[in-house]
Structure 1
Amino acid sequence: MWPWSHAAVGYLCYSLGTRFVGRRPTAGPTAAVLFGGLLPDLVDKPLSWVFELVPQGYAVVHSVLVAIPLGIGAFVVARQRDRRLLGIAFIVGYWSHLLGDVVFGWLRSSPHVFGRVLWPVVTLPPYDRPVIVRLSEYVSVFTGFQTTDDAMLVILGAAVVYVTIGVWFVDGRPGLAPIRRALERSYDEPSE
């Protein structure tokens, strides 16, 4: 999945969950769900692609063996600081990322569907192409579909993002007001 798809799926799960318990999404947990949803790629992709410390971009933070204790630890810390919803939102974003990678691997008929989330028990084989070639392949998906499956995955990913944007608007655009206030304050400050 692409990073924006992970963020979208995490937000949809968070939004539906808050509505299920009779609440509405708010700014802090929205930021936490987005951070949790992006965290595995923010850590593992550079570890693999830039620093070559792990053979694939599915490693340390993509592992359920790391995700479960890290998620529980984040919840415990958030609860101790009376910010329980931040911990829950982080877990929703983080764990939905791992579930999304498994589902995406299954949709693409990957031979390593569950191996993506079982590091170090399962270590995926190293990439067989240089980083620049892999990045160009990711970009080429948007410029020219090689297969019908490629087209369907792009359409599905775009649909999830567009639906999420719609849900975010219906939710009152949580997280936007603090950004707007910060920007307005910066414009109101006298310039020297």
Structure 2
Amino acid sequence: MWPWEHLAFAYLIVSGFYRLAWRDRPTDVAAVVIAVGALLPDLVDKPLAWGLGVLPTGRSLGHSLLVVVPVLVVVLALGRRTRDPRAAVAFAIATLSHLAGDVLYPLVVSGELRVRFLLWPFVPAHVHDGGSGGLFGRVVEYFGDFLSFLATPRGALFLAVDIGLVLAAVAVWYLDGMPGIPDRVRP
């Protein structure tokens, strides 16, 4: 998934959870931790794999349930000791939504079920053979592949659904009062 897709997917899930569990909407703090949690696996893995070559792939350490689950247990335990324990829940849900999105995305786009990365390092990661130029080169390569996919009939349908996802997230965020935006900036 692309960063905007991870953000939209996470926001919709967390906002829905807030409404169901607490009959409330996400706070400013929750909105920030949703963004961090939704992007954290990629912020860990992509630079370490594509930029520094320390990890075998852009879906390994930060995407592994063997790492993520213990980290989230600590976050939730620490969250219970704060003024806003719901923010820790928002972070956990957003982070897990990232992993779910990375399983769903290739399934929807190419019909492939990719789950091996969830058990890295016990299950070897799929190493992408192509690409050069480090982090920037890899992003450009993937974006080019994405644009080529969008030119297909299946890609056009995917784009429509993708735009719908992002627009739905923006609409829900707006209805939630635009959490994360300072009051002085809100219209």
Q: Shorter chain as normaliser: what TM range?
A: 0.7 to 0.9
Q: Match of 2:95, as an amino acid?
A: Y
Q: 1:139 to 1:180 in 2, by over 3 A?
A: farther
Q: Which residue does the alignment assign to 1:17?
A: 17
1:119 maps to 120
* Residue 165 of structure 1: aligned partner: 170
Matches within 5 A, 1:149-160: 149-160=154-165
What is aligned with 2:6?
6
Structure 2 partner of 1:63 = 64
Query: Partner of 1:180: helix, strand, or coil?
Result: coil
* SS state at 2:182 partner: helix
One-letter amino acid matched to 2:100: L
SS in 1 for 2:126: coil
Match in the other structure for 1:91: 92
Letter of the aligned partner of 1:99 in structure 2? A
Report the secondary structure of 1:12's partner residue.
helix
Indicate if the aligned counterparts of 2:149 and 2:155 stay in contact, CA closer than 8 A: no
Q: Distance in 1 between matches of 2:183 and 2:62?
A: 29
Contact 1:141 1:154 (C-alpha < 8 Å) held by counterparts = no
Report which stretch shifted further, 164-173 or 142-151: 142-151
More deviation, 75-84/136-145: 136-145
Q: Which residue of 2 aligns with 1:40?
A: 41
CA gap of 1:50–1:160, structure 2 versus 1, over 3 A, is same
| Residue aligned with 2:172, SS | helix
* Stretch of structure 1 that moved more, 10-19 or 137-146: 137-146
- Structure 1 match to 2:143: 138
RMSD (CA atoms): 2.1
CA deviation digits over 1:69-123, x for unaligned, max 9? Answer: 1111111112122321111010011001001111112222236x11132211222
Q: Deviations over 1:45-73 (max 9, x none)?
A: 11111111122110001011111111111
Residues of 2 paired with 1:144 and 1:60: CA distance?
28
Query: Per-residue deviation at 1:10?
Result: 0.7
Secondary structure at the counterpart of residue 13 of structure 2: helix
Report the identity percentage.
31
User: TM-score, normalised to structure 1's length?
Assistant: 0.85
Where do 5+ consecutive residues of structure 1 fail to align? 182-192
Contact 2:63 2:118 in 1 (8 A): yes
Mapped contact 1:5–1:160 kept (Cα < 8 A)? yes
Q: How many residues align?
A: 180
Alignment partners' CA distance in 2, 1:121 and 1:109: 24
